[in-house]
Amino acid sequence: MKPSVANNHTKSQPLVASSQFKKQNKMKTTFKISALALAFAALSFGAKAQSKASTTTDSGIKLSIGVDAGIPVGKYNDFYNWNLGGSVQAEFPIVKQLAVTVNAGYNNLFGKAINNTSANYTNIQLIPVKAGLKFFPIENFYIQGEAGAAFVANKSDLGISKSTLFAYAPQVGVQFPVGGKSFIDAGVRFEGNSPLVTNGNNLNFIGLRLAYGFGL
C-alpha cells in the first residue's frame, strides 16, 4: 500500500515542510491557479464573441457531460498535484433564470512524489453526488451552488474508515449556445470536502469544468 496523508501523519496533519519547499510549492500553486484562470478567461471571451442567443430562456430539461480538472488547495497541496475527472449534470428549470441542478462525477487526486523516494502518495478517488441551484443574473453568465456527498472509492488503499464526506461547491461560469439545443458550459468552482479522518484537514480544491450540453 502506498503512503497517504491519512496514514502517515499524526491526526492526519501533514508534516511541516521546509521553508524552501513551501516557497517552491507556493510558486507552483500560483502558476497552476493562474493557468486555470487564463483558461476560464479564454473560454469566457469565446462565449462573448460567439454567442448571440441566450441559453437562459430555453425551457425543458438539460443534460451536460464534462471534463473536470483542478488543483488541491491548503495542506493537501503539499502532497497532491492535479485533480482530473468527469461529471454528468442535469438541469431542471424552475423559472426563466433559475434551475435545479443534480451533478454526479468522479475525481482523482494524483499524489506527489515522496521526498527522497521513488514512491508517490496514494491517489484519492472521490465520487461526488451533489444538488443545488443555478442562477443566470445576466445573459449566459451564471452563479451556481451545490452541496451533497463525496464517496471515497479507495478508502482501503488510503487506510481510512470514512467512506462518505460532506461536499459543497460554489461556482461561476458561462453557458453559450453552439447550435440547436446544444451548448457549451465552462465553469470555475471551489469544491470543499470534510476531512478524511477525525481532526484532519479539509480536502479542498479549485476546479474547472468544461462540458458539452443539450436540451431534452
- 141-157 pLDDT, tens digit per residue, is 999 999 999 999 999 99
State percent of the chain over pLDDT 70. Answer: 73
- The predicted pLDDT at position 12 comes to 39
Q: What is the mean pLDDT of residues 67-76?
A: 96
- The predicted pLDDT at position 171 comes to 98
**Banded pLDDT at 116 (limits 50, 70, 90):** confident
- The predicted pLDDT at position 3 comes to 65
| Signed CA dihedral, 145, 26, 202, 123: sign only | positive
Q: What is the mean pLDDT of residues 190-214?
A: 96
3-state secondary structure at position 93: strand
- The predicted pLDDT at position 13 comes to 38
**Banded pLDDT at 9 (limits 50, 70, 90):** very low
CB 178 within 8 A of CB 145: no
- Average model confidence (pLDDT) for the chain? 84
3-state secondary structure at position 30: helix
Domains within the chain, CATH numbers bracketed: 5-215 (2.40.160.20)
> Left, alpha or beta for 189 (phi > 0: left; psi -120 to 50: alpha)?
beta
Is pLDDT at 39 greater than 60 in this prediction? no
Strand stretches in the chain, DSSP E: 62-73, 80-95, 98-111, 124-138, 141-152, 164-179, 182-193, 203-215
| Of residues 118, 71, 64, 109, the one with CA closest to residue 88 | 64
CB 73 within 8 A of CB 206: yes
Q: What is the mean pLDDT of residues 4-19?
A: 44
Amino acid present at 144: Q
Report the range of poorest mean pLDDT among 15-19, 51-55, 198-202.
15-19
CB 156 within 8 A of CB 175: no
Q: What is the mean pLDDT of residues 75-86?
A: 96
Cβ neighbours of residue 186 closer than 8 Å, sequence gap 6 or more: 40, 43, 44, 47, 173, 174, 175, 208, 209, 210, 211
- The predicted pLDDT at position 21 comes to 45
The DSSP secondary-structure symbol of 154 reads: T
| Of residues 173, 164, 167, 83, the one with CA closest to residue 132 | 167
CB 199 within 8 A of CB 61: no
